[in-house]
Structure 1
Amino acid sequence: MNNLFQQFRQEKKKVNIIAIFILLFFYCSLPTVLTLFPVTMNKASPLFGMTWSWLYAFIQIGMTWILGSFYWRKAKQLDRIAERLRKGMNK
């Protein structure tokens, strides 16, 4: 029982740290790159003739969906562990 609770806490902590790190890195990097390399980010990219800054902004939408599906999958696993913990506590 205690081992299962420790596993739950470790998994939850690991998922949250990974998600927060990716979000902070990816979302804070756009303003940073725009500040450090404004000329490069305003040049047209090979894709659709959009500037690099717009391309990066649209990539963030896809990244949000990917990270959301990752978090959703991990949350389902954590819900299964939490349910086993609840069943164990009711005995």
Structure 2
Amino acid sequence: MKEETIDYSRAAASPAFQELLKKKRAFIVPMTVFFLIFYFLLPILTSYFTFLNESAVGPITWAWIFAIAQFAMTWTLCILYTRKADQFDRMADECKREFRGAES
């Protein structure tokens, strides 16, 4: 069985791999920033402001609605990432095929 040696420096410098990294970064960085801001906004707002303590629907306050929205946001981001990860996986597979084809 022949062992493949891969020149990872060349593979990392390839245009297809650089495009994959660019697209992943363009998706992951804004989503991470959004998640962190949304996540930490609740404790910050409840610490310094009182408007979240006002009733939204009966005895349920805006703080509870915000907290429940965080669960919905987490599920939504997970679903979005799962779908996007399929695209990233296809791009990575294409990079591997392209690089292996160039090695032969």
Same fold (TM over 0.5): yes
Question: Displacement of 1:49 after TM fit?
Answer: 3.5
TM-score by length of 2: 0.78
TM-score by length of 1: 0.88
Gaps of 5+ in 2: 1-10
Question: Displacement of 1:59 after TM fit?
Answer: 0.7
Question: Displacement of 1:30 after TM fit?
Answer: 0.4
SS of residue matched to 1:45: strand
SS of residue matched to 1:90: helix
The count of residues paired between Structure 1 and Structure 2 equals 89
Confirm or deny: 8 A CA contact 1:19 1:71 kept in the other structure.
no
Higher relative contact order (CA 8 A, sep 6+): 1
Q: Matches of residues 6-21 of structure 1 in structure 2 within 5 Å?
A: 6-21=18-33
Residue identity opposite 1:8 in structure 2:
L
Q: Matches of residues 1-91 of structure 1 in structure 2 within 5 Å?
A: 2-37=14-49, 39-46=50-57, 49-91=59-101
Alpha-carbon displacement from aligned partner over 1:62-83 (angstroms, at most 9, x marks no partner): 1111111111111111100000
Q: Where does structure 1 differ by over 6 angstroms across 4 or more consecutive aligned residues?
A: none
Q: Which has the larger radius of gyration?
A: 2
Question: Displacement of 1:4 after TM fit?
Answer: 1.1
**% identical aligned pairs:** 30
Question: Displacement of 1:88 after TM fit?
Answer: 1.3
